[in-house]
Amino acid sequence: MSRMWVWRAGYRCRQLLRALEEGRSPADFSLIFQHLDGAARAAFESMSRRDRTHSLRTAQAILRRDAGDSELVIAALLHDAGKGEQQLWHRVAYVLLAELSPALLRSLARPGAGWRGALYRSIHHAQLGAALARSLGCSDVVCRLIEEHHGSSNDVRQHTLQWAAEVA
């Protein structure tokens, strides 16, 4: 068994435990109201509770590192908005299929509602989230950060968002 596999399994187990402990403090609400307008708040609220909690933690990590970059904070709050509402089992199915059989995952995923739609949105959430942010009037920078948050880049902001999402 490779060390990378063991590390990834541990990471996914920690992720599942965090998903099960979901919760928000009143301070989180002030962060949302400070950085998101009404339409963007509605997009944030349309995410599953797990994704909202993860996005808040991502934004908080960024604020601890660099309090002055509001575009980066907005991107952090909305980076998973393309997933929409999902059940925990949808996410578990996505993670397992992505790890064990990416081809089966792609064949099962379909645009629309239900579990197939949830798989599709998980695969394409960065592009869907960027399109949503664009429709909300977010800056080109915010949209690019959302769209590329899983890609490789030399952009310092992109690295910061990826780091924060990983530690959140």
Tens digit of pLDDT per residue, the chain (168 long)?
566 656 566 666 666 666 656 544 445 678 899 999 999 999 999 999 889 999 999 999 999 987 789 999 999 999 999 999 899 999 999 999 999 999 999 999 999 999 999 999 999 999 999 999 999 999 999 999 999 999 998 999 999 999 999 998
pTM: 0.84
Q: Are 85 and 121 in contact (CB under 8 A)?
A: no
Long-range contacts of 62-67 (CB under 8 A, 24+ apart): 62/160, 62/161, 62/164, 63/31, 65/160, 65/164, 66/160
- Could you give the number of structural domains in the chain? 1
Q: Give the pLDDT of residue 66.
A: 78
Domain that holds residue 13: 3-167
Q: Give the pLDDT of residue 126.
A: 98
